[in-house]
Homo-oligomer: A and B are copies of this chain.
Amino acid sequence: MGVCYIKPVTLSGFRDYLPGEAAVRQEIVRVFRETCELFGFVPLETPAVERWDILAKDRETLDVIIYNVQGSKEEGDGTKKGLRFDLTVPLSRVVAANPNLPRLFKRYQAGPVWRGERPQAGRYREFIQCDADIVGTRSPVADAELVRLMGRVFERLNIREYLVRINNRKILNGLPELAGFAGEHLPEVLRILDKLEKEGLPRITSALEESQFLSAPAAGRILEVLKVASGREQWLSALRDIFAGSGVAQEGIGELAEMGRMLVESGLPAENWTFDISIVRGLAYYTGPVFETTLLKCPEMGSVCSGGRYDSLTGVFGLNKPATGISLGLDRFYAALDRIQALPAAHAGPAAVVIAVDPGSLAVAGNLAADLRENQVRTTLYPESRVRDGLAYAKAAGARWALILGENEMTQGTVQVKDLATGEQKTVPRAQVGSVVGG
Protein backbone atom coordinates (compact mmCIF):
# COMPACT_ATOMS: atom_id res chain seq x y z
CA MET A 1 0.00 0.00 0.00
CA GLY A 2 1.07 3.63 -0.02
CA VAL A 3 1.55 5.89 -3.00
CA CYS A 4 3.90 4.80 -5.73
CA TYR A 5 6.33 7.58 -6.61
CA ILE A 6 8.64 7.69 -9.62
CA LYS A 7 12.35 7.39 -8.81
CA PRO A 8 14.30 10.52 -9.83
CA VAL A 9 17.18 8.74 -11.58
CA THR A 10 19.13 9.21 -14.79
CA LEU A 11 19.60 6.42 -17.31
CA SER A 12 22.72 4.31 -17.14
CA GLY A 13 25.50 6.07 -19.09
CA PHE A 14 23.82 9.49 -18.80
CA ARG A 15 24.43 12.07 -16.13
CA ASP A 16 23.60 15.50 -14.77
CA TYR A 17 26.18 18.22 -14.33
CA LEU A 18 25.40 20.17 -11.18
CA PRO A 19 26.19 23.90 -11.06
CA GLY A 20 29.83 23.78 -9.92
CA GLU A 21 30.82 21.37 -12.66
CA ALA A 22 28.44 22.84 -15.27
CA ALA A 23 29.99 26.30 -14.81
CA VAL A 24 33.51 24.97 -15.41
CA ARG A 25 32.36 23.01 -18.47
CA GLN A 26 30.72 26.13 -19.86
CA GLU A 27 33.92 28.07 -19.27
CA ILE A 28 35.95 25.53 -21.26
CA VAL A 29 33.44 25.64 -24.12
CA ARG A 30 33.47 29.46 -24.01
CA VAL A 31 37.28 29.50 -24.35
CA PHE A 32 37.05 26.98 -27.20
CA ARG A 33 34.48 29.10 -29.05
CA GLU A 34 36.29 32.40 -28.59
CA THR A 35 39.56 30.87 -29.75
CA CYS A 36 37.91 29.37 -32.81
CA GLU A 37 36.51 32.78 -33.71
CA LEU A 38 39.93 34.37 -33.19
CA PHE A 39 41.22 31.86 -35.75
CA GLY A 40 38.51 32.81 -38.28
CA PHE A 41 36.21 29.83 -37.71
CA VAL A 42 32.43 30.29 -37.87
CA PRO A 43 29.77 28.48 -35.82
CA LEU A 44 27.38 25.87 -37.17
CA GLU A 45 24.40 24.23 -35.45
CA THR A 46 22.94 20.96 -36.69
CA PRO A 47 20.10 18.84 -35.30
CA ALA A 48 20.64 16.07 -32.77
CA VAL A 49 18.48 13.76 -34.91
CA GLU A 50 19.54 12.75 -38.43
CA ARG A 51 18.31 10.34 -41.09
CA TRP A 52 19.52 6.83 -40.35
CA ASP A 53 20.86 6.34 -43.88
CA ILE A 54 23.15 9.35 -43.41
CA LEU A 55 24.36 8.23 -39.98
CA ALA A 56 24.84 4.56 -40.76
CA LYS A 57 26.93 4.78 -43.88
CA ASP A 58 29.45 2.34 -42.48
CA ARG A 59 26.93 -0.32 -41.47
CA GLU A 60 29.18 -2.81 -39.77
CA THR A 61 30.44 -0.57 -37.03
CA LEU A 62 27.73 2.03 -36.67
CA ASP A 63 24.42 0.23 -36.44
CA VAL A 64 25.55 -0.96 -33.04
CA ILE A 65 26.19 2.42 -31.44
CA ILE A 66 23.53 4.64 -33.03
CA TYR A 67 20.44 5.34 -30.93
CA ASN A 68 17.24 4.85 -32.89
CA VAL A 69 14.69 7.68 -32.56
CA GLN A 70 10.99 7.22 -33.25
CA GLY A 71 8.06 9.61 -33.14
CA SER A 72 4.52 8.53 -32.32
CA LYS A 73 2.03 7.71 -35.05
CA GLU A 74 0.70 11.24 -34.72
CA GLU A 75 4.12 12.65 -35.54
CA GLY A 76 3.63 11.07 -38.94
CA ASP A 77 7.23 10.85 -40.15
CA GLY A 78 8.14 7.19 -40.64
CA THR A 79 11.68 7.91 -41.84
CA LYS A 80 14.19 5.84 -39.90
CA LYS A 81 16.24 8.22 -37.80
CA GLY A 82 18.82 8.30 -35.05
CA LEU A 83 20.90 10.46 -32.70
CA ARG A 84 24.15 11.76 -34.19
CA PHE A 85 27.23 9.95 -32.90
CA ASP A 86 29.68 12.66 -33.95
CA LEU A 87 29.69 16.17 -35.42
CA THR A 88 31.61 15.30 -38.57
CA VAL A 89 28.86 13.40 -40.39
CA PRO A 90 26.44 16.34 -39.92
CA LEU A 91 29.17 18.69 -41.19
CA SER A 92 29.65 16.61 -44.31
CA ARG A 93 25.87 16.66 -44.90
CA VAL A 94 25.79 20.46 -44.50
CA VAL A 95 28.69 20.89 -46.91
CA ALA A 96 27.05 18.62 -49.47
CA ALA A 97 23.66 20.34 -49.11
CA ASN A 98 24.94 23.93 -49.35
CA PRO A 99 26.94 24.45 -52.53
CA ASN A 100 26.93 28.20 -51.84
CA LEU A 101 29.14 27.95 -48.77
CA PRO A 102 32.58 29.52 -49.31
CA ARG A 103 34.95 27.09 -51.03
CA LEU A 104 37.14 27.31 -47.92
CA PHE A 105 34.81 26.57 -45.00
CA LYS A 106 36.17 26.80 -41.46
CA ARG A 107 33.49 25.82 -38.99
CA TYR A 108 33.39 25.01 -35.30
CA GLN A 109 30.65 23.27 -33.35
CA ALA A 110 30.38 22.28 -29.69
CA GLY A 111 27.56 19.94 -28.84
CA PRO A 112 26.46 16.60 -27.46
CA VAL A 113 26.73 13.32 -29.37
CA TRP A 114 25.34 9.93 -28.37
CA ARG A 115 26.80 6.44 -28.58
CA GLY A 116 24.99 3.40 -27.28
CA GLU A 117 28.10 1.57 -26.14
CA ARG A 118 28.31 -0.54 -23.04
CA PRO A 119 29.19 1.98 -20.36
CA GLN A 120 32.69 1.80 -18.90
CA ALA A 121 34.28 3.67 -16.02
CA GLY A 122 34.50 7.35 -16.98
CA ARG A 123 32.78 6.87 -20.34
CA TYR A 124 29.28 8.03 -21.01
CA ARG A 125 26.66 7.47 -23.66
CA GLU A 126 26.13 11.21 -24.07
CA PHE A 127 29.17 13.43 -24.27
CA ILE A 128 30.13 16.81 -25.65
CA GLN A 129 32.54 17.24 -28.52
CA CYS A 130 34.19 20.54 -29.42
CA ASP A 131 35.09 20.28 -33.10
CA ALA A 132 36.90 22.57 -35.52
CA ASP A 133 37.21 21.58 -39.17
CA ILE A 134 38.59 23.17 -42.32
CA VAL A 135 36.90 22.02 -45.52
CA GLY A 136 38.06 22.77 -49.05
CA THR A 137 41.83 22.65 -49.03
CA ARG A 138 44.52 19.96 -49.19
CA SER A 139 47.17 22.30 -47.84
CA PRO A 140 49.04 21.14 -44.71
CA VAL A 141 48.84 24.78 -43.61
CA ALA A 142 45.24 23.98 -42.63
CA ASP A 143 46.33 20.99 -40.54
CA ALA A 144 48.90 23.17 -38.78
CA GLU A 145 46.23 25.81 -38.10
CA LEU A 146 44.11 23.23 -36.27
CA VAL A 147 47.00 22.16 -34.08
CA ARG A 148 47.83 25.80 -33.30
CA LEU A 149 44.16 26.50 -32.53
CA MET A 150 43.96 23.79 -29.90
CA GLY A 151 47.35 24.82 -28.50
CA ARG A 152 45.93 28.31 -28.02
CA VAL A 153 42.86 26.85 -26.28
CA PHE A 154 45.17 25.03 -23.88
CA GLU A 155 47.26 28.14 -23.27
CA ARG A 156 44.18 30.22 -22.52
CA LEU A 157 43.20 27.60 -19.97
CA ASN A 158 46.68 27.96 -18.45
CA ILE A 159 47.69 24.46 -19.47
CA ARG A 160 51.31 24.50 -20.63
CA GLU A 161 52.32 20.90 -20.08
CA TYR A 162 50.83 19.16 -23.05
CA LEU A 163 52.22 17.46 -26.12
CA VAL A 164 50.66 17.27 -29.58
CA ARG A 165 52.03 14.26 -31.46
CA ILE A 166 51.73 14.41 -35.22
CA ASN A 167 52.10 11.74 -37.87
CA ASN A 168 51.01 11.30 -41.48
CA ARG A 169 49.07 8.29 -42.70
CA LYS A 170 50.84 8.66 -46.02
CA ILE A 171 54.12 7.69 -44.35
CA LEU A 172 52.46 4.62 -42.84
CA ASN A 173 51.00 3.85 -46.26
CA GLY A 174 54.59 3.51 -47.46
CA LEU A 175 55.26 0.63 -45.03
CA PRO A 176 54.13 -2.32 -47.21
CA GLU A 177 56.43 -1.29 -50.04
CA LEU A 178 59.29 -0.51 -47.69
CA ALA A 179 59.07 -3.66 -45.57
CA GLY A 180 57.82 -5.97 -48.28
CA PHE A 181 54.38 -7.17 -47.19
CA ALA A 182 51.02 -7.12 -48.93
CA GLY A 183 49.13 -3.82 -48.70
CA GLU A 184 46.02 -5.65 -47.54
CA HIS A 185 47.80 -6.45 -44.26
CA LEU A 186 48.57 -2.82 -43.48
CA PRO A 187 45.56 -2.49 -41.12
CA GLU A 188 46.87 -5.40 -39.00
CA VAL A 189 50.28 -3.79 -38.80
CA LEU A 190 48.82 -0.39 -37.91
CA ARG A 191 46.75 -1.98 -35.17
CA ILE A 192 49.99 -3.26 -33.66
CA LEU A 193 51.80 0.09 -34.01
CA ASP A 194 48.87 1.86 -32.39
CA LYS A 195 49.62 0.00 -29.17
CA LEU A 196 53.23 1.14 -28.96
CA GLU A 197 52.64 3.78 -26.30
CA LYS A 198 50.45 1.56 -24.17
CA GLU A 199 52.39 -1.68 -24.39
CA GLY A 200 56.00 -0.59 -24.99
CA LEU A 201 58.56 -1.53 -27.64
CA PRO A 202 59.42 -5.07 -26.39
CA ARG A 203 55.81 -6.26 -26.66
CA ILE A 204 55.32 -4.56 -30.01
CA THR A 205 58.52 -6.19 -31.24
CA SER A 206 57.17 -9.63 -30.28
CA ALA A 207 53.82 -8.88 -31.87
CA LEU A 208 55.46 -7.90 -35.15
CA GLU A 209 57.80 -10.88 -35.12
CA GLU A 210 54.98 -13.26 -34.36
CA SER A 211 52.60 -11.81 -36.96
CA GLN A 212 51.66 -14.41 -39.58
CA PHE A 213 51.48 -11.72 -42.23
CA LEU A 214 55.07 -10.56 -41.84
CA SER A 215 58.31 -12.26 -42.78
CA ALA A 216 61.22 -11.85 -40.35
CA PRO A 217 62.93 -9.25 -42.56
CA ALA A 218 59.61 -7.35 -42.95
CA ALA A 219 59.15 -7.21 -39.18
CA GLY A 220 62.75 -6.06 -38.88
CA ARG A 221 62.29 -3.20 -41.31
CA ILE A 222 59.16 -2.03 -39.52
CA LEU A 223 61.07 -2.07 -36.25
CA GLU A 224 63.73 0.11 -37.85
CA VAL A 225 61.07 2.64 -38.67
CA LEU A 226 59.72 2.46 -35.13
CA LYS A 227 63.14 3.22 -33.72
CA VAL A 228 62.99 6.65 -35.32
CA ALA A 229 60.22 7.16 -32.73
CA SER A 230 59.56 10.87 -32.32
CA GLY A 231 61.25 14.18 -33.02
CA ARG A 232 61.21 17.18 -35.33
CA GLU A 233 63.87 18.05 -37.94
CA GLN A 234 66.00 14.94 -37.39
CA TRP A 235 62.94 12.72 -37.39
CA LEU A 236 61.99 14.09 -40.80
CA SER A 237 65.42 13.55 -42.30
CA ALA A 238 65.76 10.04 -40.82
CA LEU A 239 62.43 9.05 -42.38
CA ARG A 240 63.35 10.73 -45.66
CA ASP A 241 66.34 8.39 -45.83
CA ILE A 242 64.47 5.25 -44.80
CA PHE A 243 61.56 5.84 -47.20
CA ALA A 244 63.82 7.06 -50.02
CA GLY A 245 62.04 4.80 -52.52
CA SER A 246 58.42 5.51 -51.55
CA GLY A 247 56.58 8.31 -53.33
CA VAL A 248 53.61 8.31 -51.00
CA ALA A 249 55.75 8.38 -47.85
CA GLN A 250 57.89 11.21 -49.25
CA GLU A 251 54.71 13.14 -49.93
CA GLY A 252 53.63 12.58 -46.34
CA ILE A 253 57.03 13.63 -44.98
CA GLY A 254 56.91 16.76 -47.12
CA GLU A 255 53.50 17.67 -45.71
CA LEU A 256 54.74 17.25 -42.15
CA ALA A 257 57.79 19.39 -42.95
CA GLU A 258 55.44 22.15 -44.06
CA MET A 259 53.26 21.69 -40.98
CA GLY A 260 56.37 21.96 -38.82
CA ARG A 261 57.46 25.22 -40.47
CA MET A 262 53.98 26.68 -39.97
CA LEU A 263 53.83 25.57 -36.33
CA VAL A 264 57.13 27.32 -35.62
CA GLU A 265 55.90 30.53 -37.27
CA SER A 266 52.59 30.29 -35.43
CA GLY A 267 54.39 30.57 -32.12
CA LEU A 268 53.47 27.13 -30.80
CA PRO A 269 56.26 26.42 -28.28
CA ALA A 270 58.66 23.67 -29.40
CA GLU A 271 58.04 21.63 -26.25
CA ASN A 272 54.34 21.33 -27.12
CA TRP A 273 54.61 19.39 -30.36
CA THR A 274 56.53 16.58 -31.97
CA PHE A 275 56.27 14.13 -34.85
CA ASP A 276 55.65 10.55 -33.76
CA ILE A 277 55.59 7.49 -36.01
CA SER A 278 53.30 5.53 -33.68
CA ILE A 279 50.29 7.83 -34.04
CA VAL A 280 47.74 6.00 -36.21
CA ARG A 281 44.15 7.07 -35.36
CA GLY A 282 40.98 5.53 -36.87
CA LEU A 283 41.84 2.99 -39.50
CA ALA A 284 39.32 3.55 -42.28
CA TYR A 285 39.01 7.26 -41.88
CA TYR A 286 42.17 9.34 -42.08
CA THR A 287 44.10 10.03 -45.26
CA GLY A 288 46.89 12.47 -44.30
CA PRO A 289 48.25 14.20 -41.19
CA VAL A 290 46.88 12.86 -37.89
CA PHE A 291 47.35 14.29 -34.40
CA GLU A 292 46.79 13.40 -30.77
CA THR A 293 47.27 15.45 -27.63
CA THR A 294 48.18 14.22 -24.19
CA LEU A 295 48.45 16.11 -20.92
CA LEU A 296 51.95 15.39 -19.66
CA LYS A 297 50.82 15.15 -16.05
CA CYS A 298 48.05 12.78 -16.98
CA PRO A 299 49.20 10.46 -19.78
CA GLU A 300 47.03 7.62 -18.49
CA MET A 301 43.92 9.47 -19.75
CA GLY A 302 45.17 9.08 -23.32
CA SER A 303 44.50 11.69 -25.99
CA VAL A 304 42.12 14.49 -24.97
CA CYS A 305 42.17 16.21 -28.33
CA SER A 306 42.77 14.52 -31.66
CA GLY A 307 42.01 14.64 -35.33
CA GLY A 308 43.46 14.62 -38.78
CA ARG A 309 42.82 14.85 -42.47
CA TYR A 310 39.94 12.87 -43.98
CA ASP A 311 39.76 13.83 -47.62
CA SER A 312 37.05 11.34 -48.57
CA LEU A 313 34.33 12.38 -46.14
CA THR A 314 31.74 13.79 -48.51
CA GLY A 315 32.11 10.83 -50.86
CA VAL A 316 28.82 9.26 -49.84
CA PHE A 317 27.05 12.38 -51.09
CA GLY A 318 28.81 12.18 -54.46
CA LEU A 319 31.22 15.00 -53.67
CA ASN A 320 34.95 15.11 -53.38
CA LYS A 321 35.86 17.71 -50.76
CA PRO A 322 39.14 17.61 -48.84
CA ALA A 323 38.81 18.27 -45.12
CA THR A 324 40.77 18.22 -41.91
CA GLY A 325 39.48 18.44 -38.37
CA ILE A 326 40.27 18.32 -34.68
CA SER A 327 38.06 17.40 -31.77
CA LEU A 328 38.32 18.13 -28.06
CA GLY A 329 36.36 15.62 -25.98
CA LEU A 330 34.96 17.83 -23.24
CA ASP A 331 34.18 15.05 -20.78
CA ARG A 332 37.54 13.32 -20.93
CA PHE A 333 39.34 16.68 -20.96
CA TYR A 334 37.41 17.75 -17.87
CA ALA A 335 38.19 14.47 -16.11
CA ALA A 336 41.90 14.84 -16.91
CA LEU A 337 42.05 18.48 -15.73
CA ASP A 338 40.18 17.49 -12.60
CA ARG A 339 42.69 14.73 -11.89
CA ILE A 340 45.69 17.07 -12.22
CA GLN A 341 43.87 19.90 -10.40
CA ALA A 342 44.08 22.22 -13.37
CA LEU A 343 40.39 23.02 -13.93
CA PRO A 344 39.82 26.66 -14.87
CA ALA A 345 38.15 28.89 -12.29
CA ALA A 346 34.51 29.57 -13.06
CA HIS A 347 32.11 31.47 -10.90
CA ALA A 348 28.76 29.80 -10.34
CA GLY A 349 26.48 31.68 -8.07
CA PRO A 350 26.14 35.15 -6.61
CA ALA A 351 28.96 37.27 -5.19
CA ALA A 352 26.45 39.12 -3.02
CA VAL A 353 23.16 38.18 -1.35
CA VAL A 354 20.77 40.92 -0.23
CA ILE A 355 18.64 39.91 2.76
CA ALA A 356 15.68 41.79 4.22
CA VAL A 357 15.16 41.56 7.99
CA ASP A 358 11.39 42.07 7.74
CA PRO A 359 8.77 42.03 4.96
CA GLY A 360 8.66 45.83 4.94
CA SER A 361 12.32 45.96 3.92
CA LEU A 362 12.01 43.66 0.90
CA ALA A 363 11.34 46.51 -1.53
CA VAL A 364 14.42 48.45 -0.42
CA ALA A 365 16.41 45.23 -0.56
CA GLY A 366 15.19 44.78 -4.14
CA ASN A 367 16.31 48.29 -4.97
CA LEU A 368 19.77 47.60 -3.55
CA ALA A 369 20.01 44.35 -5.52
CA ALA A 370 19.14 46.27 -8.71
CA ASP A 371 21.92 48.79 -8.01
CA LEU A 372 24.49 46.07 -7.42
CA ARG A 373 23.53 44.33 -10.66
CA GLU A 374 23.82 47.67 -12.43
CA ASN A 375 27.41 47.61 -11.16
CA GLN A 376 27.94 44.10 -12.56
CA VAL A 377 27.93 42.44 -9.14
CA ARG A 378 26.32 38.99 -9.38
CA THR A 379 23.54 39.35 -6.85
CA THR A 380 20.74 37.26 -5.39
CA LEU A 381 17.88 39.05 -3.74
CA TYR A 382 16.88 36.61 -1.02
CA PRO A 383 13.14 36.36 -1.64
CA GLU A 384 12.01 35.93 1.96
CA SER A 385 12.64 38.09 5.02
CA ARG A 386 14.52 35.38 6.92
CA VAL A 387 18.01 36.43 7.85
CA ARG A 388 19.19 33.05 9.06
CA ASP A 389 18.01 31.23 5.92
CA GLY A 390 19.43 34.02 3.77
CA LEU A 391 22.85 33.69 5.39
CA ALA A 392 22.77 29.90 5.05
CA TYR A 393 21.95 30.29 1.34
CA ALA A 394 24.71 32.88 0.87
CA LYS A 395 27.27 30.51 2.40
CA ALA A 396 26.05 27.47 0.46
CA ALA A 397 26.07 29.49 -2.76
CA GLY A 398 29.68 30.57 -2.15
CA ALA A 399 28.84 34.29 -1.99
CA ARG A 400 31.43 36.67 -0.57
CA TRP A 401 29.00 39.26 0.78
CA ALA A 402 25.74 39.23 2.71
CA LEU A 403 23.97 42.61 2.70
CA ILE A 404 21.38 42.80 5.46
CA LEU A 405 18.84 45.56 5.97
CA GLY A 406 15.77 46.13 8.12
CA GLU A 407 13.88 49.03 9.65
CA ASN A 408 16.92 50.43 11.47
CA GLU A 409 19.03 50.47 8.35
CA MET A 410 16.20 51.96 6.30
CA THR A 411 15.83 54.81 8.79
CA GLN A 412 19.57 55.44 8.87
CA GLY A 413 20.15 54.93 5.16
CA THR A 414 22.66 52.16 5.86
CA VAL A 415 23.24 48.47 5.15
CA GLN A 416 24.86 45.79 7.30
CA VAL A 417 27.67 44.40 5.15
CA LYS A 418 28.93 41.00 6.20
CA ASP A 419 32.12 39.64 4.65
CA LEU A 420 31.50 35.90 4.62
CA ALA A 421 35.19 35.19 4.02
CA THR A 422 36.26 36.84 7.28
CA GLY A 423 33.01 36.89 9.23
CA GLU A 424 33.48 40.63 9.74
CA GLN A 425 30.30 42.72 9.71
CA LYS A 426 30.02 46.49 9.55
CA THR A 427 27.47 49.22 9.00
CA VAL A 428 27.98 50.93 5.64
CA PRO A 429 26.12 53.97 4.27
CA ARG A 430 23.81 52.88 1.45
CA ALA A 431 25.68 54.98 -1.13
CA GLN A 432 28.99 53.29 -0.34
CA VAL A 433 27.84 49.68 -0.57
CA GLY A 434 28.73 49.49 -4.26
CA SER A 435 32.33 50.46 -3.73
CA VAL A 436 32.76 48.05 -0.78
CA VAL A 437 31.19 45.08 -2.55
CA GLY A 438 32.17 45.83 -6.12
CA GLY A 439 35.77 46.83 -5.30
Contacts and interface: CB of A to CB of B under 8 A. Distances in A.
A104 B23 CA distance: 18
B49 A114 contact: yes
A25 B45 contact: yes
Interface stretch (A70-78, A166-174, A203-211, A295-303): A70-78
Contacts of A317: 5-8
Given A16-B47, A83-B69, A265-B366, A383 B3 contact: no
Chain A interface SS verdict (over half)? mixed
A11 to B, nearest CB: 6
Contacts of A23: 42-43
A215 interface: no
A343 interface: no
B266 A75 contact: no
Interface stretch (A32-40, A178-186, A403-411): A32-40
Contact of A47 (B15, B350, B370, B396): B15
Nearest to A63: B72
Given A393-B102, A393-B103, A45 B69 contact: no
Contact of A349 (B7, B40, B367): B40
A46 B96 CA distance: 32
B11 A102 contact: no
Nearest to A372: B38
A348 interface: yes
B16 A26 contact: no
Interface string A60-82: 00011111111110111101010
Nearest to A46: B16
Contacts of A265: 363-364, 366-367, 370
Contacts of A31: none
Contact of A316 (B6, B71, B258, B374): B6
A139 B75 contact: no
Nearest to A347: B37
Interface in A100-114: 101-104, 106-107, 112, 114
Interface string A10-23: 11111111110011
Nearest to A96: B8
A186 B63 CA distance: 51
Contacts of A430: none
Interface in A349-404: 349-350, 353, 362-364, 366-367, 369-370, 373-374, 376, 378-384, 389, 392-393, 396-397
Interface stretch (A51-59, A222-230, A274-282): A51-59
Nearest to A53: B6
A318 interface: yes
A202 interface: no
A248 interface: no
Contact of A74 (B46, B118, B264): B118
A97 interface: yes
Nearest to A112: B48
A384 B49 contact: no
Contacts of A262: 362-363, 366
B397 A40 contact: yes
Given A19-B43, A38-B373, A265-B364, 8 more contacts: A7-B317, A9-B51, A10-B46, A16-B46, A16-B97, A64-B72, A68-B72, A76-B118
12 contacts: A5-B317, A16-B45, A16-B46, A16-B47, A22-B43, A40-B353, A64-B75, A65-B72, A68-B70, A261-B363, A265-B363, A265-B370
What 7 A-B pairs have minimum CB-CB distances, sorted nearest first? A40-B380, A40-B350, A71-B116, A19-B42, A75-B116, A8-B96, A5-B318
Interface of A: 3, 5-19, 22-23, 25-26, 33, 37-40, 42-51, 53-54, 57, 63-72, 74-77, 79, 81, 83, 90, 92-94, 96-98, 101-104, 106-107, 112, 114, 116-118, 125-126, 134, 137, 139, 141-142, 144-145, 148, 152, 258, 261-262, 264-267, 316-318, 347-350, 353, 362-364, 366-367, 369-370, 373-374, 376, 378-384, 389, 392-393, 396-397
